[in-house]
Structure 1
Amino acid sequence: MNYRQVEVFKAIMDSGSITEAATMLRISQPAVSKALKQLEDELGLRLFSRTTKGIAATEEARALYTEVERTYFGMQNLTRFAASLRDRKQGRIVVSTIPALGLAWLPSMVARFSAAHPDVTVSLHSSNSTDAARLVGTGEIDLGIAQLRSEEYNLSRRKLFDLEGVIALPEGHRLTSRSEIGAEDLADAAIVGLGLDDEFRRRLSQSLDGAGVRYRSMIDASLGVTVCTLVAEGCGVGIVDSEAARTQAGKGLVFRAFSPRIRVPIYLFRQRGRPTSKLVEAFSASLLPPSPFRRDDGGDD
């Protein structure tokens, strides 16, 4: 596989269409089709099947896509770094954070930092905690900002702040009259949850199970914003972090604190033993915690 084939394959997977992939890459549709055929011939695999609605990725294509994303991420970093050398930039920092913090909090931190360091390039990436730790541990990125549950990675870490789990309710729900919600209040409720490995979901489940509360788990989503949308559409109630709640306030939703409080620590981490530039140190020192999630945001301190 060469880089062009990887680029074409990723574009097709991302867009779901050979035509759209050609548009994304600014090449002709026959060129995309030719590159795809060459890739399939070299691998000896059928990556897409044709349907009445277009093309559909095979199981092999989906498995390959996972590895391609990792490789492509690294190649993009290399390309950006080469460009910074060519343009003689004074420095570059690559940061990855969880989606909840990448919507508003981290962009605001980067804006403050960039105002003080206009010649520094800051690359922001979004990934789950596990991938962020892996990328920092292998030296592919400079800093990670996420949850960390173990010491298995070659990382040094510093706690930045806690994120609080809050209950998302659709407007008009019977529980919106309460200032905070306990486990018993969610008896027989339909729960819209984050992924099974999410810490907020895990702790909410522990609270509900510990109180002997029966509930229905209907839909899982990987992003807090998606949970909020599903709740607003009437699919149930959900638990999200306070930053996701802040960005979704006023969108047909009401947020209430959960009792007992669910707080998850967020860490800044880097590769242990790796020399750290003064720019990375300055960026790390510039990070401030989000504002507390207050009652007038739909929550409760």
Structure 2
Amino acid sequence: MRLRQIEVFRAVMLAGTVSGAARLLHVTQPAVTNVLLHTEDELGIKLFERIKGRLYPTPEGRTLYAEVERTFADIENLRKLAANLRGGHTGHLRITASPALCIEIIPLAVSRFVKQHPDVSLHIETHNYRDVLNTVLVKNVDIGFTFNPQPHPALESDVIAEGDLVGLFPAEIGDGLAPVVALDVFRQFPLIGLHTDDPLGILVRDACQASDVLLSPQIEVKTNRIAMALVENGAGVAIVDQYTAASADPARVRVKALRTPLRFTVNVIRARHHARSVVEQHFIAEVVEVERLIARAAAGRIDRAA
């Protein structure tokens, strides 16, 4: 049976007459009659007995109707699913992000997102820069969030925010420094630096070369989160992103603006030709909004010149 035949059969069962079925379906009575007769001929069984102007289902018709109702329930579930997918209310989203973005931005975005989309499930990973790219490339995740990604022929990248690198100093050191510091100030103290294969590490390296300032990290780390923890414990000084700095212990750490501004971008990346789901778009919008909130909070932590 085709879907139209099922609809007509069900309408006749519900209405009990051809005229009633026609009204339910918004078609003419002859159209209902023709479909019904064709269905009986095609199936080779009689579906209704015609008694005093009404149609009464045969035993075969009643048996068929039970299956038709199950089919219609499935169809209704499909319609609801399609509506939920269209509205971004259901689905599964796989995300990866750089560690610095997973301190506050991604967790807060996820918290806000799941309250609005309780039927969406999420899978979240945090990786260093190269692994974020690789995880997106092999399609183990749908989207990734990272800093300053290099162009790649198999990836699409969109800027969703911009920010600044800042200086982190133990309180006993930072209290004796000006609100805004030059890069050569970091030569005076043990430096905690990112690996130079990290986009933010590359940003610092290029700025030092342009300013003819040689900075050699005494301690090299993989993430800004580790750098911040080391500064909090007095192991040295560091240059980190503003989001990491915003989460530093204010009793133990001072955050300084850099005289030479070092700007970075926050990007969402996906495999090229990856179909963007509505759920994905809603989550990215949440990340953008959360970034703005945290960026404003981060700005309040930075010492600046009067």
Q: Name the aligned partner's letter for residue 126 of structure 2.
A: S
Q: Name the aligned partner's letter for residue 122 of structure 1.
A: L
Provide the residue aligned with 2:301 in structure 1. 297
What pairs up with 1:154-193 in 2 under 5 angstroms?
154-173=154-173, 176-193=176-193
SS of 1:217's equivalent? coil
Q: 1:204 to 1:176 in 2, by over 3 A?
A: farther
**Gap regions ≥5 residues in structure 1:** 1-88
SS of 2:247's equivalent? helix
Provide the C-alpha distance between the structure 1 equivalents of 2:281 and 2:299, rounded to a whole number of angstroms. Answer: 35
SS of 1:287's equivalent? helix
Instruction: Please state if 1:255 is matched with 2:255.
Output: yes
Provide the residue aligned with 2:211 in structure 1. 211
Cα deviation per residue 1:133-183 (whole Å; 9 max; x = unaligned)? 222222211111112433324222210112321111011116644111112
Q: Name the aligned partner's letter for residue 144 of structure 1.
A: G
Partners of 2:161 and 2:267 within 8 A in 1 = yes
Instruction: Please state if 1:275 is matched with 2:279.
Output: no
| Identity across matched positions, percent | 20
TM-score for the superposition, normalised by structure 2: 0.63
Extract structure 1 runs of 4+ deviating beyond 4 A.
none
Following superposition, the deviation at residue 271 of structure 1 comes to 1.8
Cα deviation per residue 1:172-221 (whole Å; 9 max; x = unaligned)? 11664411111233344321111121233333333334434455421111
- Largest Rg, 1 or 2: 2
Provide the C-alpha distance between the structure 1 equivalents of 2:213 and 2:175, rounded to a whole number of angstroms. Answer: 16
SS of 1:291's equivalent? helix
Instruction: Please state if 1:239 is matched with 2:239.
Output: yes
Provide the C-alpha distance between the structure 2 equivalents of 1:285 and 1:174, rounded to a whole number of angstroms. Answer: 36
Partners of 2:95 and 2:122 within 8 A in 1 = yes
Partners of 1:190 and 1:215 within 8 A in 2 = no
SS of 2:218's equivalent? strand
Partners of 2:163 and 2:242 within 8 A in 1 = yes
Q: 1:294 to 1:99 in 2, by over 3 A?
A: closer
Q: Name the aligned partner's letter for residue 250 of structure 1.
A: P
SS of 2:217's equivalent? strand
Partners of 2:136 and 2:271 within 8 A in 1 = yes
SS of 1:93's equivalent? strand
**Gap regions ≥5 residues in structure 2:** 1-88
Provide the C-alpha distance between the structure 1 equivalents of 2:176 and 2:224, rounded to a whole number of angstroms. Answer: 19
Provide the C-alpha distance between the structure 1 equivalents of 2:195 and 2:203, rounded to a whole number of angstroms. Answer: 12
Provide the C-alpha distance between the structure 2 equivalents of 1:130 and 1:215, rounded to a whole number of angstroms. Answer: 23
Q: 1:132 to 1:256 in 2, by over 3 A?
A: same
Provide the C-alpha distance between the structure 1 equivalents of 2:247 and 2:263, rounded to a whole number of angstroms. Answer: 18
Provide the residue aligned with 2:112 in structure 1. 112
What pairs up with 1:1-301 in 2 under 5 angstroms?
90-173=90-173, 176-250=176-250, 252-288=252-288, 289=291, 290-292=294-296, 294=298, 296-300=300-304
**Equivalent pairs, count:** 213
SS of 1:281's equivalent? helix
Cα root mean square deviation, aligned:
2.4
Q: 1:160 to 1:176 in 2, by over 3 A?
A: farther
Q: Name the aligned partner's letter for residue 170 of structure 1.
A: P
Following superposition, the deviation at residue 90 of structure 1 comes to 3.6
SS of 2:296's equivalent? coil
Provide the residue aligned with 2:21 in structure 1. none
Provide the C-alpha distance between the structure 2 equivalents of 1:213 and 1:245, rounded to a whole number of angstroms. Answer: 23
Provide the C-alpha distance between the structure 1 equivalents of 2:279 and 2:212, rounded to a whole number of angstroms. Answer: 51
Q: Name the aligned partner's letter for residue 171 of structure 1.
A: A
Partners of 1:169 and 1:238 within 8 A in 2 = yes
Following superposition, the deviation at residue 93 of structure 1 comes to 0.4
Q: Name the aligned partner's letter for residue 297 of structure 1.
A: R
Provide the C-alpha distance between the structure 2 equivalents of 1:294 and 1:158, rounded to a whole number of angstroms. Answer: 23
